[in-house]
Structure 1
Amino acid sequence: MDSATTSTATRPPRGSDCPSSPPKRVALFTGAYNHIADGVSLTLNRLVEHLEQQGAEVRIFAPTVDDPPIDHAGSLVSAPSVPLPGRSDYHFTLGLSSSMRRELEAFDPTLVHIATPDLLGQQALSFAQSANTPVVASYHTHFSSYLKYYHLGLLESALWSYLRRFYQQCEHIYVPSTAIGAALEEHGITDGLRLWQRGVSTDRFTPRRRSSAWRQVRGINDNEVVVTFVSRLVWEKGLDVYARVIRQLEDRDIPHRSLIVGDGPAREDLERRLPNTTFTGFLEGDDLARAYASSDIFLFPSDTETFGNVTLEAMASGLPTVGADAAGSRDLVNHEETGLLCEPGNVAAFTEATRRIILDTSLRTSMGRAAYRRTQDFTWDAILSKMNRYYDQILGRSVSSSSERARTRSLAVH
């Protein structure tokens, strides 16, 4: 596919850049932007929208599809890509095409942000180094945790070696949680780490969205306890554990209703394994908010998350979480206060934790209220403003370095 640019914003004139405020032209490279609706793409779209509202120019280089599931923010340049075998919803980028390179050179970025350390990210890094442009990266996918799902554990050492070489060339590495930051440090990625958490729209995701009518349409009575999973339906999200927990609850006659929100390649198999579960398919916006708020417990066994956007949305909706004691949940869920954390993959532990909250109405209510209170600190405005400040730190240093080089050249001439 050849490169093509689509835009939702008009570029301000270059001459408007003020000397006291370094021009902010950000080139963002990512493997997920609008061709797939996942946590990475939604977060990056929010970031771009915020940056443009603050006066920055942003150009995004990412794979595209003819019928994208979400509208994109900013000016998007289509990156050549191919679907991954067996996972056509994910695309592997093929690097910078000649037309993309011309687009990039014409844009003349003052900062390069790489969100995926793939071939496109590697070539973007090389371009930035040749142009003496500062580079930052954000860490969205904990690649090593995915290897076990594809029986590729032998590649872990080589993977970390590659990631070390890649990220050591970036001035900042933005991590979504302290747990992920610690994991990177354990593997020798120590310089430039900065915390960039995720926010939640607390005006949308709120207990006030709870709807008896929404439940009734799906055959759920007001007195039934709904155990909910929300995510893309791929096995690395802990779906096997979820399915086994639900089956054990059913076998033990623990009263509950199972609800799965989302879509993906694992859905057909899940529907066979969980015939009593209600599947809503993909939901977004207010429909998604109602699904959360009309549930009672969020069961999310995934141990591959870097942050856990869905966990934060569930908590904002007033749900206690039963989650994996891993990076995605550990920074959000306070064990025994806002939910319960279990050993990753331990079906018995997840079953007992879920059973406990199902049967204890008082505990379920108190944990849900505590979860709601905890999320009030995670506003998108504060989270995205923090990233803007990180950019300003880098650009300020870049301008200072350029000024110093110019001053040195001037002194040498005179």
Structure 2
Amino acid sequence: MRVVDVAEFYSPTGGGVRTYIDRKFEAAAQLGHELFVIAPGPEDGFEPRASGGLIQVRAPRLPFDANYHMFWEAGPVHRWLDSLSPDLVEASSPWRGAWIVANWSAPVARAMFMHADPVAIYPQRWLASVASPERIDQLFDWFWNYLRKLTGRFASVVTGGHWLGRRFEHHGLEAVTSIPLGVDRGSFSPRLRDERLRSELLEACSCPNDAKLALAVGRFHPEKRWPMVIEATTRARADVPIGLVVVGDGIDRARVRRAAAGKVHVHLIPPIRDRGLLAAHLASADVLVHGCDSETFGLLPAEAMASGLPLVGPDRGGFADLAQPSTSEVYRSGDTQAAAAAIRRLFSRDPGALKAAAIEAAAGVRRDTDHFADLFEHYQRVADRGRSVEPRPAARRPPAGASV
């Protein structure tokens, strides 16, 4: 099968989507499929990959994030689709790229892979102090109408986790299939724990070796809530000596740096591109503290779990689906005091029992090879059905006042 992914938010300097698609190239080759990815970029270009190739179409830069570009003209993308003659076309964002795919004239099956929930990422975070998530969903009913109309042009809507799948179904999207993501278990393992690295990181946080080492990893973006994570960890230090290492960079760097300023126990380091080194950092820490409540799956928390690391994170989003009572503590999303209390609760547990439970949980983390096998099997079924690209009847609206 030949799949073409029109990936609006793929960038060589991107985060989770880049990591995911790079792994998808490898998985496609192993499974005997061809995969081509069409992405907007600074110049036209082609980069061969194991199972096909990465095609860049020249496009304008995204105004608010220099890492990304945005599709503009449909013609270049349609010409590539015509020349590639795919069995299935995937769109992986609900914006311009998806409409370009939807309006391609060939009678080829198409699917949408939703990597995010824009309402949860933006308005539910911006307006959290003045309105409930349910009320915000009502205020943004225009977006849910838009998404129902758009996804009606696709044979399948795929999510990388059950939380987002349930949320989309609740808001009236049809043909939703949840195929949970997974991690590269060959790269992440408790066996990579490095006591010397742990000591160096604690020293960078001006902490003694018997302090607890907390890790926070991800793009510096408002949805990640890193200032809240920094403040919650700082409050928890009143009861437990903790050093916090924050790994990342991005458009929210100024706020993150302000939040860390004057806190000698907080150490900021740039993104770790070397997966082996990242895996060693995860395996060598004592807890991952997470703030994002709008992720599809929570790839970084899953990698931390595979590394034998206990977790603290919010009660909404993909993290909540991953968290296990034996190895995790959850807190009310966006609540700094609740997050600090969750950190204290985790470290009040018996250390030996917690470590044993975390190592046991690591062995049960879903593999990314299982995700990709399930994904391509699903795409094969969709392609075989050959559903017309004509719009389905209007999707139902959710009951008034309800939310997920």
TM-score using structure 2 length: 0.84
Letter in 2 for 1:210: R
Structure 1 counterpart of 2:256: 270
Match among 82, 96, 107 for residue 60 of structure 2: 82
How far is 1:226 from its partner? 0.7
Task: Tell me if the contact between 2:163 and 2:321 (Cα under 8 Å) persists in the aligned partners.
Answer: yes
The secondary structure found in structure 2 opposite 1:260 is: strand
**CA distance 1:204–1:259, shift in 2 (3 Å):** same
Letter in 1 for 2:321: D
Structure 1 counterpart of 2:329: 340
Worse-superposed segment, 276-285 or 303-312: 276-285
Worse-superposed segment, 349-358 or 260-269: 260-269
The secondary structure found in structure 1 opposite 2:24 is: helix
How far is 1:151 from its partner? 5.9
The secondary structure found in structure 1 opposite 2:313 is: strand
Structure 2 counterpart of 1:63: 40
Match among 24, 27, 44 for residue 47 of structure 1: 24
Match among 161, 170, 179 for residue 163 of structure 2: 179
Distance 2:199 2:347 in 1: 20
Structure 2 counterpart of 1:91: 69
Match among 88, 102, 121 for residue 146 of structure 1: 121
Could you report, residue by residue, the CA deviation over 1:350-374 in whole angstroms, capped at 9, with x for unpaired residues?
1111012224324532442343233
Letter in 1 for 2:213: V
Letter in 2 for 1:165: K
Letter in 2 for 1:192: A
Could you report, residue by residue, the CA deviation over 1:118-160 in whole angstroms, capped at 9, with x for unpaired residues?
1122011110xx2111111111011111222456969622211
Match among 319, 338, 361 for residue 309 of structure 2: 319
Matches within 5 A, 1:363-382: 364-375=354-365, 378-382=366-370
Match among 205, 227, 231 for residue 244 of structure 1: 231
How far is 1:396 from its partner? 2.1
TM-score using structure 1 length: 0.82
Task: Tell me if the contact between 1:77 and 1:100 (Cα under 8 Å) persists in the aligned partners.
Answer: no
Q: Does 1:385 align with 2:373?
A: yes
How far is 1:247 from its partner? 2.6
Could you report, residue by residue, the CA deviation over 1:303-336 in whole angstroms, capped at 9, with x for unpaired residues?
11110000100111111111111121122112x2
The secondary structure found in structure 2 opposite 1:113 is: strand
Task: Calculate the aligned-residue CA RMSD, in Å.
Answer: 2.5
How much identity, in percent, do the aligned residues show?
25
How far is 1:38 from its partner? 1.5
Q: Does 1:349 align with 2:338?
A: yes
Distance 1:146 1:319 in 2: 26
The secondary structure found in structure 1 opposite 2:181 is: coil
Distance 1:307 1:393 in 2: 23
Structure 2 counterpart of 1:195: 178
Distance 1:224 1:344 in 2: 26
Matched pairs, number:
367
How far is 1:181 from its partner? 1.0
Distance 1:200 1:99 in 2: 34
Structure 2 counterpart of 1:206: 189
How far is 1:81 from its partner? 3.1
Q: Tell me, which stretches of 5 or more residues in structure 2 are unaligned?
A: 129-135, 389-404
The secondary structure found in structure 1 opposite 2:269 is: strand
Distance 2:14 2:222 in 1: 17
Structure 2 counterpart of 1:132: 107
How far is 1:302 from its partner? 0.8
Distance 1:119 1:282 in 2: 29
Structure 1 counterpart of 2:383: 395
Distance 1:371 1:303 in 2: 22
The secondary structure found in structure 1 opposite 2:369 is: helix
Q: Does 1:289 align with 2:305?
A: no
Distance 1:328 1:278 in 2: 26
Task: Tell me if the contact between 1:320 and 1:371 (Cα under 8 Å) persists in the aligned partners.
Answer: no
Structure 1 counterpart of 2:247: 261
Structure with more contact order per residue of length (Cα contacts < 8 Å, sep ≥ 6)? 2
Worse-superposed segment, 287-296 or 26-35: 26-35
Distance 2:352 2:35 in 1: 49
How far is 1:278 from its partner? 1.5
**CA distance 1:211–1:222, shift in 2 (3 Å):** farther
Distance 1:95 1:253 in 2: 57
Worse-superposed segment, 171-180 or 289-298: 171-180
Task: Tell me if the contact between 2:14 and 2:67 (Cα under 8 Å) persists in the aligned partners.
Answer: no
Task: Tell me if the contact between 2:233 and 2:343 (Cα under 8 Å) persists in the aligned partners.
Answer: no
* The structure with more helix, counted as a fraction of residues: 1
Worse-superposed segment, 263-272 or 133-142: 263-272
